[in-house]
Amino acid sequence: MENIISVQHVTKKYKEVIAVNDVSFEVRKGEIFGFLGPNGAGKSTTIKMLTTLLLPTEGKLSLAGHDVIKEQHAARKIFGIVFQDPSLDGDLTAFENMQLHAVLYKLDKRMAASRTEELMKLVELWDRKNSLVKTFSGGMKRRLEIARGLLHHPQILFLDEPTLGLDAQTRNLLWNYIQQLNEREGMTIFFTTHYLGEAEAVAHRIALIDHGKIVAAGTSEELKQQTGTDNLEKAYLELTGTSVRDETLSGADSKKEAMRRFMTKR
């Protein structure tokens, strides 16, 4: 099978941190690929580089043969993404957020209308379609983000902790739907999660990243064999250790964390 995502010797340095350190991997077309690792490992940074939001310090990334730096526009047509952090407009209604997305991705009007209805019903927000998003609960926002990310049926779907903060029923429902999309349309799924059971159940292949480096890759069976364990969670802990990564919290978390430390010091 051909590769649809290719990452070659990619490094991303922020001022003091090397978030991603000489990472290389490939994802095949039609694959459900789990990208796992502890907090601050470099998962979101990798996704941001793949989705043209960040420039790598070094290395090459491509989506369906398009270099994400040199052929940004072509690359953007290929994927959809659900970000780890919120990206909805709270002053618009749920429906308006979907509508805006449909126009940004130049969807046919009728198709957009029927998919919007289908997806909003799936995530059980159809009866709230005319409410302003800022009045939604965390889980409702999350569900809307996912529905929006699925709206344009991209070739590759990036999901950065899609199920964060969702109840078990909704998580189940969503993964079923995503698996269906993968089977029916051959959509490639690239996701991160901290629920290892989820990854074990849906991922065809998994890569483990820690401190900006890939530490293992393979099917969940292979990872279990390699570590002599009987479930993915144990294999994961075997491969990444049991210490908590509080020295490298990511993004907004690190600010909150710094604030908390600052406050408790006095």
Partner 1 sequence: MNTIYILWLRQMKKYRRSGLRMVLSIIQPLVYFLALGYGFNSIFQQAGRGSYIQFIVPGVVAQTILFTSIFWGANIIFDKQFGFHKETLVAPVSRITVMLGGALGGATIGVIQGIVLFFIALIFGFHPYNLAGVFTSVGFMIMLSLAMVSFSSGIGAMVNDMPSFMAATNFLVVPLFFLSGSMYPLDNIPGVMKVIASVNPLSYAIDAMRSSLINQSHFGLTTDFLVMSGTLVVLFAFSVFRFTRIEA
Binding site for ligand ATP (CB under 6 A): 14, 17, 19, 37, 39-45, 84, 248, 250-251, 254
Q: What are phi and psi of 8, to 5 degrees?
A: -125, 115
Q: How far apart are CA 160 and CA 177, in angstroms?
A: 17
Tokens in use for 41? Answer: 């490992």
Q: How far apart are CA 256 and CA 244, in angstroms?
A: 17
Side-chain half-sphere of 199: how many Cα atoms within 13 Å? 29
In the bound state with ligand ATP, the residue whose beta carbon lies nearer, of 151 and 166, is 166
CB of 225 to Mg ion, least distance (A): 28
In the bound state with ligand ATP, the residue whose beta carbon lies nearer, of 65 and 86, is 86
* Contact string 207-246 vs partner 1 (x = CB under 8 A): ----------------------------------------
Closest to 170 (Cα-Cα) out of 144, 194, 143: 143
CB of 128 to Mg ion, least distance (A): 28
Q: Does residue number 96 form part of the binding site for partner 1 (CB under 8 A)? A: yes
Q: How far apart are CA 224 and CA 238, in angstroms?
A: 10
In the bound state with partner 1, the residue whose beta carbon lies nearer, of 52 and 172, is 52
Residue type, 107: L
**Residue 153, SS3 per DSSP:** coil
Please check whether residue 184 is in contact with residue 26, taking contact to mean a CB–CB distance below 8 angstroms.
Answer: no
Of these partners, Mg ion, ligand ATP, partner 1, none, which one is at the site of residue 85 (CB under 5 to 8 Å by kind)?
A: partner 1
Q: Does residue number 76 form part of the binding site for partner 1 (CB under 8 A)? A: yes
Tokens in use for 243? Answer: 């210490």
Q: Does residue number 259 form part of the binding site for partner 1 (CB under 8 A)? A: no
Q: Does residue number 193 form part of the binding site for Mg ion (CB under 5 A)? A: no
Residues that bind partner 1 (CB under 8 A): 48, 51-55, 73, 76-77, 79, 81, 83, 85-92, 96, 99-101, 103-106, 132
Residues that bind Mg ion (CB under 5 A): 43-44, 84
